[in-house]
Structure 1
Amino acid sequence: AGECGACGFGTTSVSSTQNAGASWNNFPTIQDGGLPISMSFVSPSEGWLLDSSGADIFTLLQTLDGGSTWKEVYPMAHPRPVNSVSFVNAQVGYGVGVPGDANAFLKTDNGGRTWSKIGHVPTAANSFVTAQLVFLTEQHGFLVYNSPSPNKSWIYETNDGGASWTLLKNPNGYGVSLTFAGTQDGVAFNQTLHWATTNGGKTWFQVHLKSPWLPWLPASDPAVAGLYLAGLAHLTMAKTLTDIVHSQNSGQYDQIGFAGSQVAWTPDQSQTGFLLTTDGGAKWSNIHGVSNVDFVNGEDGWALSGGLLRTTNGGKTWTYASHPTP
């Protein structure tokens, strides 16, 4: 058992050999937000894995099929998401993944204090994937899988709160991220390709930029830079955020999020946390050890770090919405 550093924090993977190590069988990644501590098998099919997602935070998993699937031995009374979260308001949110079940789909109606498992999201074609969950309303949302092997992205859409999902043909490519300004105007992008929608994702059109990711200052608001795609889809972006992202990772956008024109966040250079601004880019703070950030307004936000953190004051302080330990 080990952790795939290139796949992102918390991707525990298990492999088995039946020929003294000449070849190995790789099993689906366990998205449990941790690092494997020890593993023990009593037969080729039955075994246990102790995983850690931080100081004194441990998860004990068991498999009965030789490592293909895992279940938590001592599950929490209420599950918590460990892969990705997306909130539509201060109370209602969705999440992906629980310890031992990377495709579990969860919902909360109380700001993340408790979660209910309401189904499963689609299974990506490759086990080494990272996921991004983006919900615009309680019914309408998107799920993005990005896999470095093969270099491919899968984007699913739901219009019934996650009861069913449809795989989109476009946008396509690898390393695709989604971000929306409101519920209608959105952008899907990677390093070289860009799409936009002005009807909530019903239709997408590809945009060819002469200078990709070179924003300009609109005369209407000189303090905020805007990315205007084909003069239709408008995504507000703090100019300081733009400068920072361009100066890091050769301009690679792993994730960008917005809550109005004042709150924005993006992964830091080390990819071990997120940069957060709550004043339109004048000042930035680093949230260390966080794998996912989501705000619904300038005050209410959530972050995944072992457990689910919540802020109600724009990121000045954070407390656990759901406690990280049983």
Structure 2
Amino acid sequence: MRVVLLVLALVVSLAAPASAGERPPRWELKPTGVIAQFRGLSAVSGRVAWVSGTQGTVLRTVDGGATWRSVGPPGTEALQFRDVEAFDADHAVILSIGPGADSRVYRTEDGGTSWRQTFQNTDAAAFYDCLAFFDPWRGLAMSDPVDGRFRVQATFDGGRSWRPVPDRGFPPALPGEAGFAASGQCVTTAGPFDAWLATGGGATARVLHSGDGGRHWTASGTPLPSSPSAGVFALAFRSPSQGVAIGGDFANPAAPGPAVALTRDRGRTWTTPGQYPAGYRSGLAWRGGTVLAVGPGGSDYSPDGGRHWTAFDTGGFDSVDCAGAACWASGAQGRVARLR
């Protein structure tokens, strides 16, 4: 009887349909009516999302992508807004990239109707790549190294003001080491105090970790390839312990090699899974226990935290972001999509 019951249970389990969470994901394009390249993306919910990109373009939707409103700061058409961090439909912070004064931060409190510039870089050697927030008040903006140390600005009032983090808290940068402003995800946070910076360009693709809100940092090597066009492009942590790094070589996006690394010890050590996406990927996000990855060559998902990957879309995207179960992707030629 016990054997019969076991056999019946096996038959039922094999015949049962897959749950909704086991079905392959699918992107549903949400036309924006513009041709800007959107490397900046912030998902607030299934209805609210912000994107930012070239030609000073910032768009916002509050109806799930059915319509988009252009809300970028006036007079910024020459800037590239590579990162946006939105707290809700009204409050958001955007970062423009570039050498010297082109690196700027703006904040809005009325859905983009008006903006206030809250930071402008004055160091010709600095180049800000991305920003991230621990909560609606505390955040970090990352620059490439200056005088051999990474440069980071910190805010404690939601991006209304910024002040430099003392560079004595950073390990020396490697020759040629820098961040990649490809998706606004070269800096990320998890929990109230942990933050990570992604690097490439040097002899080793590294991840820098801070456990005290950004004051002190340690560096760890990853198995990802590193060169002037290769390294870690995006980081995403499900918890302060469990994280994924992704990247590759944007100059040779089809190059084989380990484009993914996993950590379970706050980034102290990184390992390559046995199977990973084929080629360069620039964006990364967690949706529950599933990881989503995007790049110009397509999208992939891993239902087991990064150990195994399946391609599910061949369209190009630069960034991906999730708010709970609601996930969005953005990229070149005004492409924005929501996960179905």
* TM-score normalised by the chain length of structure 1: 0.48
- Structure richer in strand, relative to its length: 1
Q: Which structure ranks higher in relative contact order (CA pairs < 8 Å, sequence separation ≥ 6)? A: 2
